[in-house]
C-alpha cells in the first residue's frame, strides 16, 4: 500500500513541476467558485511545497482565479436565478445559504470564501439575491486571499520544514489519510442508506 502511495506522491510531485500544473490549478480554482466541488488546495499545497520560492505567487494566482470564478458565479446567479443554483446544489444547502445571508449579509460571502463551505453556493446565491457587486468583490478578494494567499505565505516561510516533515512521517500521514478516506466513504454510504430509507418511509406514509 505504501509503495502505491509513494508512487502516487512522486507522480504528483512530477506533475506539480510542469507548466500544465499551473493551468490546471488556475482552472480548478476558477471552477470551484462556480460549478465544481473540487477545491484547489490539494494541488496548490504540493506545488508550493515543492517550490517554496513560488508559493506566494501560486497563492496569488489561485486567489485571482477564484475571484474571477466568483464574479462569473454572481453573474450567472443574477442572470438565471435560483433554478440554475438548484442544478448544482441541494435544496437544503440553498436554504442554509439563504439563512446565512439573512443573518450576516455580505459577511456570509467572506466566511464562505475562507472556510471549506462550498463557495459556489454563495457566489451564485449572491447573484440570485442581487447582492451589490462591489461589496461582493471586496469580500471575495479578502476571503479568498486569506485562504490561498496566506497559505502561500506560510509555505514560503516554512516550506522546507514542511517538506522534511512530510518525508520523515510519510507512512504515518499516508495511514491517517487512508483511514480518513475509508471513514468518509463509510459516512457517505451510511448517509445514502439513511436517506433512501427515509424516502421510502415518506412514500409509504403518503400512500
pLDDT tens column, 186-195: 655 675 676 6
Phi, psi of 89 (to 5 degrees): -130, 145
* Percent of the residues in the chain that have a pLDDT greater than 70, as a whole number: 70
Question: What's the distance, Cα to Cα, between the start and end of the chain in Å?
Answer: 50
pLDDT of residue 70: 94
Q: Cα angle at 71 between 66 and 73, to 5 degrees?
A: 90
b/e code 145-156 from CB counts within 10 Å (16+ = b): bebbbebbebbb
Phi, psi of 98 (to 5 degrees): -65, -40
If you average pLDDT over every residue of the chain, what do you get? 78
What are the C-alpha distances in Å from 10 to residues 22, 125, 140, 145, 194?
17, 40, 34, 29, 39
What are the C-alpha distances in Å from 179 to residues 20, 38, 167, 176, 183?
31, 20, 19, 5, 6
pLDDT tens column, 67-94: 999 999 999 988 887 787 777 667 777 7
DSSP string for residues in 100-142: HHHHHTHHHHHHHHHSSS-HHHHHHHHHHTT--HHHHHHHHHH
pLDDT tens column, 144-169: 999 999 989 988 888 777 667 666 65
- Per DSSP, 169 falls in state T
From the list 105, 104, 31, 83, the residue with the least C-alpha distance to 62 is 31
Q: Are 74 and 133 in contact (CB under 8 A)?
A: yes
Other CB atoms closer than 10 Å to residue 9's CB: what's the count?
Answer: 17
Amino acid at each position: 500500500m505504501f509503495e502505491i502511495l509513494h508512487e502516487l506522491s512522486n507522480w504528483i510531485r512530477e506533475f506539480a513541476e510542469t507548466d500544465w500544473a499551473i493551468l490546471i490549478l488556475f482552472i480548478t480554482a476558477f471552477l470551484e467558485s462556480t460549478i465544481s466541488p473540487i477545491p484547489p488546495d490539494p494541488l496548490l499545497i504540493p506545488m508550493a511545497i515543492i517550490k517554496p520560492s513560488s508559493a506566494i505567487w501560486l497563492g496569488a494566482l489561485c486567489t485571482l482565479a477564484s475571484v474571477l470564478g466568483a464574479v462569473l458565479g454572481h453573474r450567472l446567479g443574477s442572470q438565471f436565478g435560483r433554478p440554475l443554483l438548484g442544478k448544482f446544489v441541494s435544496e437544503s444547502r440553498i436554504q442554509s445559504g439563504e439563512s446565512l445571508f439573512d443573518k450576516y449579509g455580505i459577511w456570509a460571502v467572506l466566511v464562505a470564501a475562507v472556510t471549506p463551505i462550498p463557495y459556489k453556493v454563495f457566489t451564485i446565491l449572491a447573484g440570485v439575491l442581487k447582492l451589490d457587486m462591489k461589496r461582493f468583490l471586496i469580500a471575495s478578494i479578502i476571503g479568498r486571499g486569506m485562504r490561498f494567499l496566506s497559505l502561500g505565505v506560510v509555505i514560503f516561510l516554512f516550506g522546507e520544514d514542511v517538506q522534511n516533515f512530510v518525508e520523515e512521517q510519510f507512512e504515518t500521514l499516508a495511514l491517517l489519510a487512508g483511514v480518513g478516506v475509508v471513514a468518509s466513504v463509510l459516512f457517505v454510504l451510511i448517509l445514502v442508506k439513511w436517506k433512501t430509507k427515509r424516502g421510502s418511509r415518506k412514500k409509504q406514509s403518503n400512500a
